[in-house]
Amino acid sequence: MSDTRSTTLLIIGGGPGGYVAAIRAGQLGVPVTLVEGLHPGGTCLNIGCIPSKALIHAAQEFERAREYAQDSPLGITVQAPAIDIARTVAWKDGIVRRLTGGVQALLKKSGVQLVRGWARVLDGKTVEVDTGEGPVRIQCEHLLLAAGSEPMPLPSMPFGDKVISSTEALSPASIPRRLVVVGAGYIGLELGTVYRKLGAQVTVVEAQDRILPTYDAELTKPVAGALERMGIELCLGRKVMGLNAAGDAVRVQDATGAETALPADQVLLAIGRRPRTQGWGLENLQLDRAGNALRIDDQCRTSMRNVWAIGDIAGEPMLAHRAMAQGEMVAELVAGQRRRFAPAAIPAVCFTDPEIVTAGLAPSQAQQAGLDCTSAIFPFAANGRAMTLESTDGFVRVVARRDNHLIVGWQAVGRGVSELAAAFGQSLEMSARLEDVAGTIHAHPTLGEAVQEAALRALGQALHI
């Protein structure tokens, strides 16, 4: 006989959206149960954002050490550096354990009931969880779906053996001599860069004719230049046909139909992610869909009363911070507060080298939206802090309405620009104008000065260019 429990809010999925919703609901006194099959933190903490950034940092440090073994203008010399990849992975795993342990402590502090196991939805009020020690049936008033997403497969090249996803790529037992990355989006380029810095020969295959096709071309030029200098080979406008008969090369086809083979000891398939909607009874709810994702309104309500959806399962943008904000909102709605999800902008960061950060509208997007806008760029080549960091490629760009100078978008590309995301998002959320940013004293010397200088340039008042 199964164990039956009841709760007010039942959350399926302990990723950033799910655990934040649980913590906030607990803070508000809502009885809440969170079901998670693996470890709290979801893809982001366990096999995504955090471990990938850890490996990016390790690879950057190793590359720097190798540069110092040559002729460094800083006057630093080292003997031939080496890397113990097993120790690197152990360090990365230690960070993950500390963070997931912290999440569990926060859940406990907020009075959240954590049930370890795999959920199956029976109806909009009932879920059965396979805990490995017998089924647990949980009944609820509100059901929050936060099951996240999963790597997208390629019919001609299924996962297995030499073909890995980002999950396996984040815990390498060794570094392959030749790695072929399928997909030049942010996941493929972030991890491809890591493997190249760790010593692999890397080839990136992309069906479209440029890298990072969701970003505008001006932002991606410095990244493309850096990839070329690193020795990463780009095969753009190519269709992947699968592995060859021997399984040691990737067959690709160009626009003319000509086929070539790219030697590969390992293949990283990184063509994107899709909402995790299969295999746990979601079809029993017959919820409205938006493509593969669940359709939600501006309160994250699905088409069934008291059934909510947040994060990747609700489609793009698939960003952890979006899921967190949605989870917080849903918890407050369940607690009786009045909220809606209407952010002015959601920043997005691509942790390539150099990094890219965007918030709001790019110039072309503003034009498509019918806005008469002006834009201005301030290059890091004119920024003192960028010079001291030996990274002057890239720029900050601001987009603002021509009539009232209301800022509608920010973009930047350069080393360390991810840390500008907060300033970008805040200025958009507070409806800042060019004069607001231009008139704010920015600390010197910092990369943030480029933000002020871009606003000044848009006003025709540039000081350092």
Q: Which residues are annotated as a binding site for NAD(+)?
A: 183-190, 206, 272
User: In this structure, what token pair is assigned to residue 366?
Assistant: 């503003």
User: In this structure, what token pair is assigned to residue 161?
Assistant: 């053996």
Q: Which residues, in sequence order, are bridge partners of residue 113?
A: 33
Q: Which residues, in sequence order, are bridge partners of residue 394?
A: none
Q: How far apart are CA 81 and CA 99, in angstroms?
A: 30
Sheet with 407-414: strands ordered across? 348-350, 355-360, 407-414, 395-401, 373-379
| Residue located via tokens 């392959």 | 176
Q: How far apart are CA 181 and CA 217, in angstroms?
A: 21
Q: How far apart are CA 210 and CA 236, in angstroms?
A: 6
Candidates 270, 44, 47, 274; CA nearest to 159 is: 270
- Coil, helix or strand for 194? helix
Task: Show binding-site residues.
Answer: 53, 183-190, 206, 272, 312, 318-321
Q: How far apart are CA 39 and CA 116, in angstroms?
A: 8
Residues in the chain: 465
The residue type at 27: Q
User: In this structure, what token pair is assigned to residue 200?
Assistant: 């692999």
Task: Show binding-site residues for FAD.
Answer: 53, 312, 318-321
| Residue located via tokens 């399926």 | 12
Q: How far apart are CA 98 and CA 357, in angstroms?
A: 27
Task: Output the DSSP codes for 100-166.
Answer: HHHHHHHHHHTT-EEEESEEEEEETTEEEEE-SSSEEEEEEEEEEE---EEEPPBTTB-SBTTEE-H
Q: How far apart are CA 397 and CA 252, in angstroms?
A: 36
Largest CA distance in the chain: 75
Of 57, 142, 442, 444, the active-site residue reads 444
Residue 228 CB neighbour total at 10 angstroms = 11
| Contact status, residue 399 vs residue 408, Cβ threshold 8 Å | yes
User: In this structure, what token pair is assigned to residue 153?
Assistant: 């497969």
Residue 405 annotated among the catalytic residues of the structure:
no
Q: How far apart are CA 444 and CA 446, in angstroms?
A: 5
User: In this structure, what token pair is assigned to residue 272?
Assistant: 């994107």
Residues designated catalytic:
444
